[in-house]
Amino acid sequence: MNKGEALSIVKNQLTEHRYQHTIGVMETAVVLARQYKVDEKKAEMAAIFHDYAKFRPKDEMRQIILEQQMPQELLRFDTELWHAPVGAFLVEKEVGIKDLDILNAIKYHTSGRENMTTLEKVIYLADYIEPGRKFPGVVEVRELAKHDLNGAVIESVKNTIQFLLNRNHTVYPDTLFTYNGLIQEYKNGRNSINEG
């Protein structure tokens, strides 16, 4: 599937605003992929489809989480988390993408996870820093992303956790595992790219 075909599929699933966000994520992901030596085509596809399920009805997403035996704890956390794992499932089922690297990058683009692959970090970060994003801390993370992928992901996760804590919201465990895992990599002196 080429970029144009992928974008036309996604455009039918998104609002115009979210489609423009997707274009920004795609362009940012390709730049990061090139910089951090990740397959650019996989980064492009994962970025295009990362929000595929964003506007699916909550009841449909809940049903998919239950039927596909996804972690049930998802249902106890903010529904904003649901579209990532549900999206990965639907992209495989409806679009026919079978590449696990792409599907996992979609699956973990909101929560992160421990031992993220470089592609997963690229999509997570591209979603966070794409040019349309405007919130406290994003400029600093954009700058950091130019030379330190892990450091930029750590800062983005810290900002996200702080945002949730300031609003007395729960923090999904995978997000904490992402932060803890990357901090451990730094402490162990392994702050090079994780190809895991």
pLDDT in tens, 158-170: 999 999 999 999 9
So what's the pLDDT on residue 190?
Answer: 54
So what's the pLDDT on residue 188?
Answer: 79
So what's the pLDDT on residue 55?
Answer: 97
Counting as low any pLDDT under 70, the low residues of the chain are 189-196
Q: Does residue 87 form part of some domain? A: yes
Q: Does residue 152 form part of some domain? A: yes
CA geometry: angle 129, 132, 135, nearest 5 deg: 65
Q: Does residue 59 form part of some domain? A: yes
Q: Which domain holds residue 82?
A: 3-187
If one counts every other C-beta atom within 10 angstroms of the C-beta of residue 147, the result is 9
So what's the pLDDT on residue 136?
Answer: 87
Q: What is the DSSP-derived secondary structure letter of residue 68? A: T
So what's the pLDDT on residue 94?
Answer: 97
Query: Structure pTM?
Result: 0.93
If one counts every other C-beta atom within 10 angstroms of the C-beta of residue 31, the result is 16
So what's the pLDDT on residue 195?
Answer: 40
Q: Does residue 160 form part of some domain? A: yes
Backbone angles phi, psi at 77, to 5 degrees: -115, 175
So what's the pLDDT on residue 183?
Answer: 92
The total of structural domains in the chain comes to 1
